[in-house]
Chains A and B, each alone.
Chain A
Amino acid sequence: MGMTITEKILSEKTGHKVRVGEYILIEVDIALANDITAPLAIDEFYKTGIKKVYNPEQIVLVPDHFVPNKDILSAMQVKKIRKFAKEQNIEKFFELGRMGIEHVLLPEQGIVKSRDIVVGADSHTCTYGALGAFSTGVGSTDIAGVYMMGKAWFKVPEVIDVYIKGNFRKYVSGKDFILKLISILGVSGANYKVLEFRGPGIENISMDSRFTISNMAIEAGGKAGIFPVDDLTIEYERERGIKVEKLTADEDASYMRRIEFDLNELEPQVAFPFLPSNSKGISETEKEKIKIDQIVIGSCTNGRMEDLRAAAMILKGKKISRNVRCIIIPGSQQVYKNAIREGLFDIFVNAECAVSTPTCGPCLGGHMGVLAEGEVALSTTNRNFVGRMGHVKSKVYLSSPVVAAASAIKGYIANPENL
């Protein structure tokens, strides 16, 4: 019997052929935590009385959720992380000014790569599946376990085969694909399972779109969302001085379910409140003329260059509606710099959008764009749960950057085709 990508990576690490359902203990390559989750992990680590971490090279610390520090408590959290990084000689601590939203930053800086085992105390750690890594979200105590012993436990998951053919039409991208897939699977359809993407359509999906797709595997409950390592991945890694080899599932690998998907049939999607699985096509959505108060373009889901370029293409030479405010957040310092160099900041500021330094801020209702009672947002982020972006009686719709930008101009959720 052949193996899935998941089984190949896990077997390589354990040194034996793993089987679905087996509990394994493996040394991880990277253990990531942020300003919300790291302080709890640090406290747990020190409570055991252990003085030194197992291996500082494994550890990555990225304060990004409430950074630049929102208030005194946020500042205290980051101070604790900074102190820990210094005490434990952790080099991969990313201070404001060098940081980015963690899941934009780590691939961009070549910190994670194909075949790595990555755990992160952040649910969107599944993003790195785009590079062919086995990468999954855990909690702070799991991370503390890595600080103590360098390893984590896993149950070898079942795999869902997502077979993709065709190519995206104009104005359609990875975000639309993953929203549609989540609507098919439901928010728990991939619970405890891995989504593995394959098929002839894969080569038409850009790296940035792959990051968006893998990022939201968790919104279907997925443990990971993994792409094969192909020429595109090899080139992406080569640009970062990393040499990787192709990695695909065997033809006779065993899956618990197969979903076939034709990208040609896909139109832009909008996920309605209060679950990411509530998506509808843009042509149907536009008829409802849903008025919005705030647009957010950014986040670990859609804060990369492809996303900002797509928004800029729509906003160029235009002004947003007087009835909305639009916040644009480049995902990292590198993205920020590239966006300035390509003239995107001019386009955004001329369109009367606010452009922010990298932060998770509004996505989780933290800061930099919190909603009032009764307000409605259209956001390129990943969750639209009750109260997610602020007041418990506010609402969030989710879409791609193109739809968000078109809607910023119109003041209601709009189809970019009809601008």
Chain B
Amino acid sequence: MILKGKVWKFGDDISTDHIAPGRYFHLRTNLPELAKHVLEDAREDFASKVEKGDIIVAGRNFGLGSSREHAPRIIKLAGVAAIIAKSFARIFYRNAVNIGLPLIEIKEADEIDEGDVLEIDLANGIVKNTTKGKEYKFVPMPKFMLDVINEGGIENYISKYGDYKI
């Protein structure tokens, strides 16, 4: 699967409170409405301007904090195709895989700028920055995780395979 999209930049330690603030939790049963506030506490204009297929590029420890799965779900719902960061918080990583949102760890995330266009090859572990003409390698996810991503999440994966195939 090749993903192509333009970049939105974020800093280090973007928390689940930045992504899905507790004060909007009255919207938690209405994810499309909650998605209108996605990442609002990190960048006010993000939710209104993000387009389908866009890619988030961030620094260290993206998604720290709560286990609220609403966080990756509303990022995906807002149209984001993938997140690239120097590192991810553990529970956020699990949740993103489980709902079929690809995450990519590359150390050189700082070299990518807002608005750059990227091409991501998930299976082969390659990020191409077509704006800057640069290429980065990453360790691809294990096969069962890639399968979960390809199926769009655990629910579809289990419906198809009947069990985890690790």
Enumerate chain A interface residues (CB-CB to B < 8 A).
Answer: 23-25, 36-37, 39-40, 44, 47-49, 66, 71, 73-74, 76-77, 120-123, 125, 137-142, 144-145, 148-149, 151, 153, 187-188, 191-192, 218, 221, 223, 275, 364-366, 370, 383, 385-388, 390-392
Contact = CB atoms under 8 A, between A and B. Distances in A.
Contacts of B17: 383, 385-388
Nearest to A389: B22
B144 to A, nearest CB: 8
B95 A141 contact: yes
Contact of B154 (A145, A187, A391): A145
20 contacts: A25-B166, A36-B28, A44-B154, A74-B26, A122-B67, A123-B66, A139-B99, A141-B98, A142-B154, A145-B164, A148-B158, A149-B163, A153-B164, A192-B90, A223-B90, A364-B66, A365-B21, A370-B23, A386-B18, A392-B41
Contacts of A141: 69, 95, 98-99, 153-155
A395 B56 CA distance: 27
B164 A187 contact: no
Contacts of B25: 36, 66, 364, 366
B159 to A, nearest CB: 6
Interface stretch (B2-10, B46-54, B57-65, B127-135): B57-65
B30 to A, nearest CB: 9
Contacts of B154: 44, 141-142, 144-145
B98 A73 contact: no
B77 to A, nearest CB: 13
Contacts, number: 134
Nearest to B91: A137
A390 B23 contact: yes
B69 A121 contact: yes
A187 B94 CA distance: 18
The CB with the most chain B CB atoms within 10 A, among A142, A144, A192, A390, is that of A142
B73 to A, nearest CB: 8
A37 B69 contact: yes
B33 to A, nearest CB: 11
Contacts of A391: 23
B155 A44 contact: yes
Contact of A392 (B15, B21, B64, B99): B21
Given A48-B158, A221-B90, A73 B65 contact: no
B65 A383 contact: yes
B158 to A, nearest CB: 6
Interface residues on B, range: 35 or more
Contacts of B166: 23-25, 153
A135 to B, nearest CB: 13
Contact of B98 (A142, A191, A365, A390): A142
Contacts of A151: 164
Contacts of B21: 365, 387, 392
Interface string B110-145: 000000000000000000000000000000001010
A187 B67 contact: no
- Closest CB pairs A-B (n = 4): A139-B95, A188-B61, A141-B98, A365-B22
Contacts of A386: 15, 17-18, 41
Contacts of B90: 191-192, 221, 223
A23 B142 contact: yes
A73 B23 contact: no
B61 to A, nearest CB: 4
A149 B159 CA distance: 12
B67 A73 contact: no
B22 A366 contact: yes
Given A39-B29, A44-B155, A191-B89, A137 B67 contact: yes
B68 interface: yes
B29 A77 contact: yes
Contacts of B13: 187-188, 275
A188 B23 contact: no
